[in-house]
Amino acid sequence: MIDINIIRNNKELVKENIKKKFQEEKLVFVDEVYELDKKYREAKKLADDLRGEKNNCSDNIGSLMREGKKEEAMALRTRVSEIDEKINEIEKSEELLLEEVNKRMMLIPNIIDESVPIGKNDSENVEIERFGEIKELDYEIPYHADILESLGGLDKDSAGRTSGNGFYYLIGDVARLHSAMISYARDFMIDRGFTYVIPPFMIRSDVVNGVMSFKEMDAMMYKIEDEDLYLIGTSEHSMIGRFKGQIIKEEELPISLTSYSPCFRKEVGAHGIEERGIYRVHQFEKQEMVVLCKSEDGMEWYNKLWKNTVDYFRSLDIPVRTLECCSGDLADLKVKSCDVEAWSARQKKYFEVGSCSILGDAQARRLGIRSKGKEGTKFVTTLNNTVVASPRGLIALIENNYQKDGSIKIPKVLQPYMGGMEMIKGRK
């Protein structure tokens, strides 16, 4: 949610931002907010003026009674009662007006950064940089699900019987490799000064509404029946929610956290051959980064965060690239975002394994997260980024470490988490 002062002082800027995001249907909300807010402030001023008049009347009643001017005093008492009724009526109007303003403000997208490329959808995202050399192989890489099954490490049929499409069993050394990636990611971020956190895996609706747009919520979140609880789609949700309604001492900023969680997503949308395996699933595990900082430090942290993901995958000898998200591909709360994509040795192209975002004070404003310093209280800036989400990270790992004999070479940094194992061999 943007600062309403931007609409009060420069609503054309807000409209232009909406056009850049190709959401012209939301232009009407800007004018509606402007007019509703104007009525709200007029009502508030009238109520304040009446309170001032009431205070003057109340002060004069005592003086008049002491002077024996009972009739004049009684007339003022009648006026005070009239003022109370009027104030009560105006306050109800204020409440309704504010509710209508906030309802529309929640639908107006955040102001994007000037550096964001303008484009309608993810097909117009812009490559920034590539990291690592792509290896030339003299053999074909099988489909990732076939590799995992040949290693005795994947069972989707049983998961289909227990849970339905979009679920899976990881087994044996493959399951261990999956956990090794997550554990290594945890230690990787701790070594970079981040505090490790395991958050709640369910959150209330007020937190959901604070961290994401309604459109995202409907497409992603699973709701617990008869409970005001949702399964998290990423630990960012509960990590940011932890600070809801809090005032943080400015000297305690920045707060840099890395969190582990299972994640649950509806994944409503197109499914094709790449979805036959474990690329797009309803349940996965992730190591995340979350930062709360001062607004002036936001972009510096943004660049640190995406570089952490690049460094993580490069330490596994996986080639990656960064892709700048265009305006039409940005979720409403985001100021700027980039994806980290890993090389698919089978498909001969990159695919998304992480996403880094800076949200300005949008989440903080919705959730009431502020910092207090010498210049008073301010809303904090929030950022989030994926270290690794498995099984997508696992797909990148096995494709880039697949050997001609069907085995998987384990990167050196993961071997301590695998009991010293250097290779996962296929079943005979």
pLDDT (tens place) for every residue of the chain, 428 residues total: 899 999 999 999 999 999 999 999 999 999 999 999 999 999 999 999 998 888 888 878 877 777 778 888 888 888 888 888 999 999 999 999 999 999 999 999 999 999 999 999 999 999 999 999 999 999 999 999 999 999 999 999 999 999 998 899 999 999 999 999 999 999 999 999 999 999 999 999 999 999 987 777 777 899 999 999 999 999 999 999 999 999 999 999 999 999 999 999 997 654 444 557 899 899 999 999 999 999 999 999 999 999 999 999 999 999 999 999 999 999 999 999 999 999 999 999 999 999 999 999 999 999 999 999 999 999 999 999 999 998 999 999 999 999 999 999 999 999 999 999 999 997 64
Beta-carbon contacts of 422 under 8 Å, excluding residues fewer than 6 positions away, are 409, 410, 415
* Domains (range + CATH), the chain: 4-105 (1.10.287.40), 122-424 (3.30.930.10)
- What is the number of other CB atoms lying within 10 angstroms of the CB of residue 412? 11
Q: Which helix (H) or strand (E) holds 69?
A: none
pLDDT value at position 295?
Answer: 96
Residue 355: closest CA among 338, 332, 375: 338
Locate tokens 């980064």: which residue? 289
Q: Where are the alpha helices (DSSP H) in 139-254?
A: 144-150, 156-162, 172-190, 205-211, 214-220, 235-241
Which tokens belong to 46? 């009238």
DSSP states of 1-20:
---HHHHHHHHHHHHHHHHH
**Nearest 5 degrees, angle CA 367-CA 232-CA 117?**
70
Dist CA 267 CA 12 (whole Å): 35
Q: Widest CA span of the chain, in angstroms? A: 109
Residue 414: closest CA among 282, 400, 405: 400
3-state class (DSSP) for residue 109: coil
Q: Can you give the pTM of this predicted structure?
A: 0.90
pLDDT value at position 65?
Answer: 77
Residue 244: closest CA among 372, 385, 357, 364: 364
Q: Are 8 and 34 in contact (CB under 8 A)?
A: yes
Phi, psi angles (nearest 5°) of residue 125: -65, 155
3-state class (DSSP) for residue 328: helix
Buried b (16+ CB within 10 A) or exposed e, 133-159: eeeeeeeebbbbbebbbbbebbebeeb
